[in-house]
Chain A
Amino acid sequence: MTAPTGKLGVVMLCHADLDRAAQLARHWVMQGCPVVIHVDARTAEADFAGLATALHDLPDIRFSRRSPCEWGSFGIVQATLDASARLLADFPRVSHVLLACGSCLPIRPVAALHAHLARHPDTDFIESVTTADVGWTVGGLNEERFTLRFPFSWKRQRRLFDGYVALQRALRIRRRQPDGLVPHLGSQWWCLTRRSLQAIISHPDRPRIDRYFKRVWIPDESYFQSLVRQVSSRIESRSLTLAKFDYQGRPYTFYDDHLHLLRQTDAFFARKIWPQADLLYRTFLTPDGDRALALEPNPGKINRLFAKAVERRVKGRPGLYMQSRFPIRARGGTLSAAPYGVFTGFAELFHDFQPWLARALDARVHGHLFAFDRVEFAGGESVFKGGLSDSPTLRDYNPKSFLTNLIWNTRGETQCFQFGPADAQDICSFIAGDPNATVFVISGAFAVPLWQSGRSASDVRPEAARLQKVESDFLRALNAPETKARTRIWSLTDFIENPAEPLEQLVDLLNPRAAHRTTDLPQLLPLNGFGTFLQDLRNQGMAPVLMGDFPSDAELAQPEQTFARPKIVR
């Protein structure tokens, strides 16, 4: 069988999985494209012999001189140059040369590629971007690839590599670039016209250029990309090969379950393909190509998917602490997954604060989640969403996990809870440091239940003093400069002068897009007699300060009903 010499020739760089390489080479030749294969000199001789045997029946296969191809070294460029020269010399009818690897899979049929090249006969398809414009190189080495020397292997001699880079930076050594060479970077995988490739191979200045690039880092991403700018008449700076890289610049692998995704690409080839991805090889390595290719390619979808994967790897899901993610202090972004509200003193002052808040905010409103005797979940549940138990021991064993779990489990629904000086306080510093927390405090309101208990001032004095101390500590944490939580703090006195305004404020803060404004407000407890209670506490030797300057009963002039049900005047 003599396949006609095709328009497209293929240079294949291989180092492992040579059975797949053989399959690919056979496919190319059967489609009329001659192939020159370069096998890494470090690949076992037996594997190479196996490849040669597997392909011995095909006339349009050549093997170029084997040289070592270490990642990041000039060997890869040398191999490409050798193989390209061989291809151009042995197959005079080749008009375009494709550089591929042993795991580059053609997604579109060769006929479609031929048609594409026929429409653009003089175009070189090679990604070629100036160093200033490249955003994708990793490790900070961008322009320095061309201005420093890199005699050491990045993989084998990392310390020497890093040390030598640091030394050159310290000594401010800069290399001179060959005249007329403007450094460009781009994907290693290209498709060049015979004219351009020949011009690069027979460049008059090549010995000097090669000497220069031998000390450039990763020259396979810059050699052809730079030189093509000198010789080409028309460059389309886009690779025909779909290759995706992770955030550290390592190529992603495509598996069988990517079949549907690959059908969405507008590229002609994809790499790297997992050697055991039988389905992909079976689907795409057919003479007519895959029949289910998307008619309207959607490369944006692929880009988005990979961008999301990189984001998941680098940024993770804020507020989630688990097997994969446990940030060191100060490197984890927000501490919890979503905004939440903390209310101190409200439930003590209003009869029906919790149901009112749930209505006004359209949120889940819990009682005292950190109460000593029981976790007061909304609705009195004993096991809350995600399996959170109401056992206070379990909660206090790791209160930070308890709170982050609660917020994470209820993503999409705002959580609010009551918190006071009578609760377990270990969580305070976490709340204060969490930008997702909004804390509303009516300071001194803790005394209202004590007053209502009907016990004498001398009985409750120690308890009142203790609670006041705890609440002051909480307030101090909230007022510290390093606090990240949003806070609104009123003294009891200020609050009851005009309760409507703070309530409006908190609705605005936590649910700014509230569909309807709340007109009804919760019912404030009548506080006649509370002033006397505070005076009694003072007489017992305590100094109740957090309530502010609470008016005595005589001065509490407002008639009871006006703040029993305050209305907002519009």
Chain B
Amino acid sequence: MAGPVSPSAFPRGLPHACAIGTLVDPPGGLTGALLALKLRSRRQLLLWRAFRRRRQLAPVADRTAAIVPGAVLCFLCVRNEARRLTQFLAHHRALGVGHFLAVDNASTDGTAALLRAQRDVSLWHTGASYKAARFGMDWLTWLLLRHGSGHWCLTLDADELLVYPYWQSRPLSALTGWLEAQGRDSFGALTVDMYPQGPVSQGHVGPDDDPLRHLAWFDAGNYQVQVQPRLRNLWVQGGARARAFFGETPRRAPTLNKTPLVRWHWRYAYVTSTHSLLPPRLNVVYDTEGGELTSGVLLHTKFLPGITERSAEERARAEHFANAAQYAAYYDRLTADPVLHCGASTRYAGWRQMEALGLMSRGGWI
């Protein structure tokens, strides 16, 4: 999760974000070429950062030799996620992830032992600063560079469950085959905050329980969509968190669009979390002619019981936002055990419902 991106200086006249009906074609000519050069050096800088921080990663269980060609790989960076990981691994294993590559950022709750015991997980440990490593992205960029090239790579947080059209009957290899046939190298998904009916701290969800039985509700139609024309990435905000916590400071509301699935090349680099990446063509996961491209949803299981203590800890560590002080009010409200559910909430009933509501799309896949 990251805050808003600071406005860019170049090229002048290009707005920071384009609202509905104001998006124009990317700049061409000299301006376009200069912008491409600028973004290229930014990408190289990101790769260099990842290279510099590679030594912060100590291998705990390196099983990458077992990765078969063509396998879909899943990359994640975790800290104290033991209660979510069993379900996370089971869900994505069922989707056909061939190997998980995980970075454990100094967990103290048995996360490392849990991951280490999985035969399809390679694990690295680091005690370094999450924030200084671009919220873990430097580490993951390094792992993607080393192991992801040529594979379809899924980069997720431990509290995200990927859902895409037909996911119950078609594994990820069917989806990636369809994307390849369409000439696409990346796949977009909207993060949807799932929340319980009562106060968020209430209830009990064991590590083996389906979190969605408890987190059964979501906001169906309050997502604000813009495009940032520089990288051409979407900038979607909204959902339950924007409604409940950012009513007065909507610009700071969490970014919800992600591009979690990419046919990776070692030259690629994520810019802010998985919200945007370079080169910019990978960010165009949406159709600009009025049609729809295939997309999915990341069911966000952040609001499991324990969220209040976790938020208090996150606030104290100040590792989750570039300008953490501005998010103090957000953490205060989270710690106060809010009820996110309201009369306008929608109960989750599967991907077809999500598609009918317009949160994801088959995009012509049948």
Does B47 sit within 8 A of A, measured CB to CB? no
CB distance from B277 to the nearest CB of A (A): 15
Q: Is the CB of A255 within 8 A of B170?
A: yes
In the complex, chain B residues whose CB is within 8 Å of the CB of A255? 166, 169-170, 174
Interface residues of A in 359-410 (CB under 8 A from B): 381, 383-389, 391, 393-394, 397-398, 400-402, 404-405, 408-409
Q: Is the CB of A326 within 8 A of B225?
A: yes
Q: Is the CB of A317 within 8 A of B358?
A: yes
How many residues on A have C-beta within 8 angstroms of the other chain's C-beta atoms?
A: 57
Residue in B20, B23, B345 whose CB lies within 8 Å of A404: B20
Q: Is the CB of A384 within 8 A of B344?
A: yes
Does A256 sit within 8 A of B, measured CB to CB? yes
Q: Is the CB of A402 within 8 A of B224?
A: yes
Q: Is the CB of A386 within 8 A of B21?
A: no
CA–CA, A367 and B364, complex, Å:
39
Q: With A383-B343, A385-B221 in contact, is A391–B366 under 8 Å at CB? A: no
Q: Is the CB of B290 within 8 A of A331?
A: yes
| Band of interface residues on B | 35 or more
Q: With A309-B362, A328-B25 in contact, is A394–B287 under 8 Å at CB? A: no
CB distance from B288 to the nearest CB of A (A): 4
- Chain A 331-350 near chain B by CB (<8 Å), digits 1 or 0: 11101000000000000000
Main secondary structure of the interface of B (DSSP, over half): loop
In the complex, chain A residues whose CB is within 8 Å of the CB of B171? 276
Q: Is the CB of A315 within 8 A of B291?
A: yes
Q: Is the CB of A309 within 8 A of B366?
A: yes
In the complex, chain B residues whose CB is within 8 Å of the CB of A389? 222, 242-243, 247
Does B299 sit within 8 A of A, measured CB to CB? no
Residue in A315, A326, A387 whose CB lies within 8 Å of B222: A387
CA–CA, A255 and B171, complex, Å:
10
Q: Is the CB of B225 within 8 A of A387?
A: no
Residue in B182, B239, B359 whose CB lies within 8 Å of A322: B359
Does A356 sit within 8 A of B, measured CB to CB? no
CA–CA, A320 and B293, complex, Å:
13
Residue in A247, A276, A383, A398 whose CB lies within 8 Å of B19: A398
CB distance from A461 to the nearest CB of B (A): 33
Q: Is the CB of B289 within 8 A of A324?
A: no
Q: Which of B20, B248, B287, B342 has the most CB of A within 10 A?
A: B20
Chain B residues with a Cβ under 8 A of chain A: 19-25, 166, 169-171, 173-174, 177-178, 181-182, 188-190, 219-227, 234, 236-240, 242-243, 246-251, 257, 285-295, 342-346, 358-366
Some 9 contacts from A to B, beta carbons below 8 A apart, are A246-B182, A255-B174, A276-B171, A316-B291, A322-B361, A324-B188, A325-B287, A325-B293, A329-B23
> 15 other contacts beyond A383-B344, A386-B346, with CB at 8 A cut-off?
A247-B364, A309-B365, A312-B361, A323-B360, A325-B290, A326-B23, A327-B287, A328-B288, A384-B344, A386-B221, A386-B222, A387-B220, A394-B246, A394-B247, A430-B20
